[in-house]
Each structure stands twice: as C-alpha cells, then as structure tokens.
Amino acid sequence: METVDIIIVGAGPAGLSAAINAVVRGKTVRVFSNKESLLAKAERVDNHLGFYNITGKELMDKFREHAKNMGVKIEEGKVVNILPLGSSFMVNINGEIAGAKKVILAMGVSKVKELPGESKLLGKGVSYCATCDGMLYRGKKALVWDQSQDAWEEANYLSDIGVNVTFVSKKAKPEKLKDNIIYVNDALTEILGGDSVESVKTGREEIQTDAVFILRDGLAPAALIEGLKMDGNFISVDRNMETSIPGVYAVGDITGRPLQLSKAVSEGLIAAQHAALQIDKIKES
C-alpha cells in the first residue's frame, strides 16, 4: 500500500489549491477525482481577484496547468471509503487501497439523496463498490442501481464472478449489459432488511436480494467515513478546516455558503497549511 502525506478527494479549485500549497511545503500528495468541476461549466467569471471576463473552463485549465507544473497529478478514481488507522488513514479508491497521514475532502456540494434504509444497512448488504465487495455475494443475488456512466461495467463484473445480478435503471438498457443480467426499467425507493439487506422497493415492485450496489458518481460525505459531523448537507469544520475527525479536513463548497471560487481556493490553502504543520510536528516529536 502506497502511503503519502496527504490524499485529496476532488480536483476543483479547493482541491487543487490544497494540493499546490501542500507541495510547496514539501509534502507528497495524491489527488483523486471522478467528475468535472462545476467551475468548468461557468459561462463567465468576474469575481475572482486577478481574473476578469474569463470563462470557467479557461480558469479551470489555468488551475490544472499550475498544478501540473508543480508536479501534481490528478488521478481518475472515486473514493468510496476512508478508514482511520491510528494516526493515519486507509483510503479505498474503487478497490485500490492507498494510505495517507491526512485527508482533505474537496468534492463539492453533495447532491446525493440517500434512500430510506441505505445508511442503516451500509456494510450489511449495501455497497458503493462492486470490485470491493462483489466476491462476498458470489452465488447470491445482488441488485445494481444505475446512478453512474459505468454502472453497467460493474454489473457485468459481478456477473462474471458468479453473482446473480439485477440491473435497475431509469435509462435505456445498456447495449453492453450481459444477456444473463435481469434488466428492470425503474428506480429504487427503499432498501429493506433487519440485520442485512433482504429486498428493495422500486416504483412498481419489491425485489428480493442479498445485496444492493448503489453506483453513484459521488457519495454523501457521511458515507465516506464514520463519525463525520454534518450541518445539513454540509461538513462542519473549525477555523483550520478540520472536521470532527482529527486529520480529516474539508474545503470548498462542501463546507457551506458562500459557494464562491475565492472561498474555495482560500480554504484549500488553509487546510493544506495546517495539515502540513501537523505532519511536521509528528516528525519532530
């Protein structure tokens, strides 16, 4: 398992600001992202000091170029779980395990609405990663809920390792979905079970299953790491951008309003500086 000083989840303005400022302070970083920053879709940006009448894409390209020139590499990957291990963290990126002394969450505002029963049964049949947990359900029934572009690939993977798969999607049946996978054109509304998943409800029926793989492009922050204090849909932080979990920071839109570019960049700097300082203190002790 490769271990670095800081793992950053998200590659928007907040995440890249954190990465650049960590590198300036001599820290090793890995940056993971599986979606484009909302800034890249902005038609025009006039409210960030030093830039005027520039498109969001142009500005985001400058941020990426700056990061690249500082040696920061943006890696494609969805972080599905973060586990504290004493003074460090184990981070699961779609089945790949990486280690870090500190973690900075910078994935933007969470628009994920959890299903009834999802949190209760997480780890008891509810999973966000087929390659991570698929082997647990070999020879059993599993339902894949299509909430991302590559959900069909993970459904095929589950089928290949011997899982009896049902694929639920509001979209048309993917052309490359394996023929032995049951396709249901619907949406999940609830996950049912006592000590483990027993069934799910859709808009039209109840389906018996041993597991539910919810394959979203993003996760609700509280689903990433246990014990994370939230304020509605936002992560609670202190003045150093540290969350309720020591060593885990949150920056940018995910920490609350104002949802502004300048705030995101500033918070990335603050978190990186504090994280680097804490790492240095550990080395000195």
**Token pair listed for 22:** 């960590």
- Spans of all domains in the chain: 3-111+219-284, 126-216
The average pLDDT across 53-79 equals 95
CATH code: domain 3-111+219-284 is 3.50.50.60
> For residue 113, is pLDDT > 90?
no
pLDDT, residue 282, reads: 82
pLDDT band at 200 (very low <50, low <70, confident <90, very high): very high
Q: What is the rounded distance in angstroms from the CA atom of residue 16 to the CA atom of residue 99?
A: 19
pLDDT score, position 216: 78
Q: Residue 123 above 90 pLDDT? A: no
Residue 146 has pLDDT above 80, yes or no: yes
Q: What is the pLDDT of residue 103?
A: 98
Total-model pTM: 0.81
Q: Per-residue pLDDT averaged across 163-175, rounded?
A: 96
Give me the mean pLDDT over the 214-222 stretch: 80
Residue range 230-266, pLDDT digits in tens: 998 899 999 999 999 999 999 999 999 898 999 999 9
* Average pLDDT value for residue range 173-187: 96
Q: Are 257 and 96 in contact (CB under 8 A)?
A: no
The pLDDT tens digits for 6-36 are 999 999 999 999 999 999 999 999 999 988 8
Note the pLDDT of residue 177. 96
215 burial via Cβ count (<10 Å: 0-12, 13-18, 19+): buried
Give the pLDDT confidence score for residue 233 in this predicted structure: 83
What pLDDT digit, counting tens, does each position of 84-105 carry? 998 899 999 988 999 999 999 9
b/e 153-192 (16+ beta carbons within 10 angstroms → b): bbbbbbbeeebbbbbbbeeeebeebeeebebbebebeebb
pLDDT on residue 147 = 85
pLDDT value for 265: 97
Range from 1-5, 65-69, 156-160 carrying the lowest mean pLDDT: 1-5
Per CATH, the architecture of 126-216 is what?
3-Layer(bba) Sandwich (3.50)
The predicted pLDDT at position 285 comes to: 67
Please give the mean pLDDT across all residues of the chain. Answer: 93
Tell me the C-alpha distance between 232 and 111, whole Å. Answer: 12
In the chain, pLDDT over 70 holds for what percent of residues? 99
With 90 as the cut, is the pLDDT of residue 156 above it? yes
Element (H, E) at 200: strand 197-202
The predicted model gives 168-181 an average pLDDT of 95
3-111+219-284 and 126-216, same CATH topology? yes
> Which residue, 264, 246, 245, is CA-closest to 256?
264
